[in-house]
Amino acid sequence: MTPTPDPRLKAETLTVVPLAAFDETVRVLGSKSYTNRYLAIASLSGQETVIDNALLSDDTVFLARAIEAFGHVTCDIEHDAARIRVTPTGQPMRAPDQDIFVGGAGTPLRFLISMAGHAEGTTIITGNARMQERPMGDLLKALPALGVDATAVRGNGSPPIRVVGGSFKGGATSISGAVSSQFTSSLIINALRAENDTEITISDELISKPYVEMTLAALEEMGVSVERDGYRRFTVPAGQQARGGQVTVEPDASGMSYFLAAAAILQSRVTIPGIGAGSHQGDVHLVEALERMGCHTQVSDSEITLSGGRLRGIDIDMEAMPDVVPSLAIAAAYAEGVTRITNIASLRVKECDRIAAVTTELRKMGIEVEEHPDAMYITGGTPHGAVIDTYDDHRIAMTFAIGGLRTEGVVIKDPGCVAKSFPTFWQTLDTLHPTLESTK
């Protein structure tokens, strides 16, 4: 059964009403990054796999339907149970007759480019207008050495991407890690079905390292070993088969970040169960950043509790946790002094240019922001209300909604864009605050 969608997802705007202090336990959905990884691995395993506590959002559903298009598996989505069942059909992987469209789903598109190398025939993979601007050139350059012919249809390194498949031989390749760690994860996961051992050398510095750690952890949990030389070289031995059976997705650390930020700016207390000190998600380290800003934290193996305090600006390199930069930025807007967030150039090529977007919207709220190519310097103060443009970017919408919990007059345009990663975000926010108002 598919649940009834939150009508606020169809609203033109949503006004956030300020909230008093709270002390709540908040359950967030499963990790988008892990759900995508388990889906990709399961589709290559040849075994039935049940993914529990799966995140069922635009991104993950796009990936599930794209995987089905190759004909070798079915992906049964059980919305009520937050479960995806991946079942082999017994048929070989073949290129679909129709283009694969993934909307704005960046991780799925990158995983699918390599995956199409296993499918006989020619696959075209594309996305929405913003996705057709995002760079894929490093991955396209790395695949030919492994036997896969992948090219940008328009010759510009961006989607649509044409892949001539059935030829993922393996071997040795090198790839830049400077634009996206997802390229490396795409190669590592899909090397699972290569005919020969696959050796992937990172030609420069790998950014967003925790996301590769998540890939390796997901593969290990499903019985696949990857040899490594730090972050310089990864080797996937041929002949392995990922196990089937059941896997459980831990809560999404990126989704958790909004509720941590809410507690921080409202001097409140929030507990997030199901995720703790052992998580490989890089975004979990936002807890430490907020602690440096003046919050109090308790982190066990099974839950995280944060209590807000008097916030002060910090200097922080967030290269390893770029998706929670907006969450820290909204906290910085209410902190004393300047917060300098550095080494975040990768945010320029996300769903929108997030450095520019966060800068623009904070300035609308009266906050001084100094924008740099790879950094933001935010001088905390007393934000005022504003109508927030969200740029079709889920993280911008959720971030500024949190600001609206403290500041009156914050109006979020296109609140439905949260469906990309957190379709129940507004309902989850209701557990703190049942007075969100939308307009048609």
Residue type, 359: T
**Using CA of residue 341, residue 130, residue 250, residue 309, what is the dihedral sign?**
positive
Q: Are the beta carbons of 34 and 215 closer than 8 angstroms? A: no
User: In whole angstroms, what is the distance from residue 133 CA to residue 405 CA?
Assistant: 34
**307 CB-side CA count, 13 A:** 4
Please give the positions annotated as active site: 323
**290 CB-side CA count, 13 A:** 41
The DSSP symbol for 282 reads G
3-state secondary structure of 365: coil
Pairing of strands 386-388, 375-379: unpaired
Pairing of strands 198-202, 233-236: antiparallel
Helix 253-265 × helix 286-293 angle, to 10°:
10
Contacting residues for 311 by C-beta, under 8 A, at least 6 apart? 264, 265, 293, 294, 295, 331, 332, 334, 335, 336, 380
User: In whole angstroms, what is the distance from residue 49 CA to residue 173 CA?
Assistant: 30
C-alpha distances out from residue 23 to 6, 113, 223, Å = 25, 44, 40
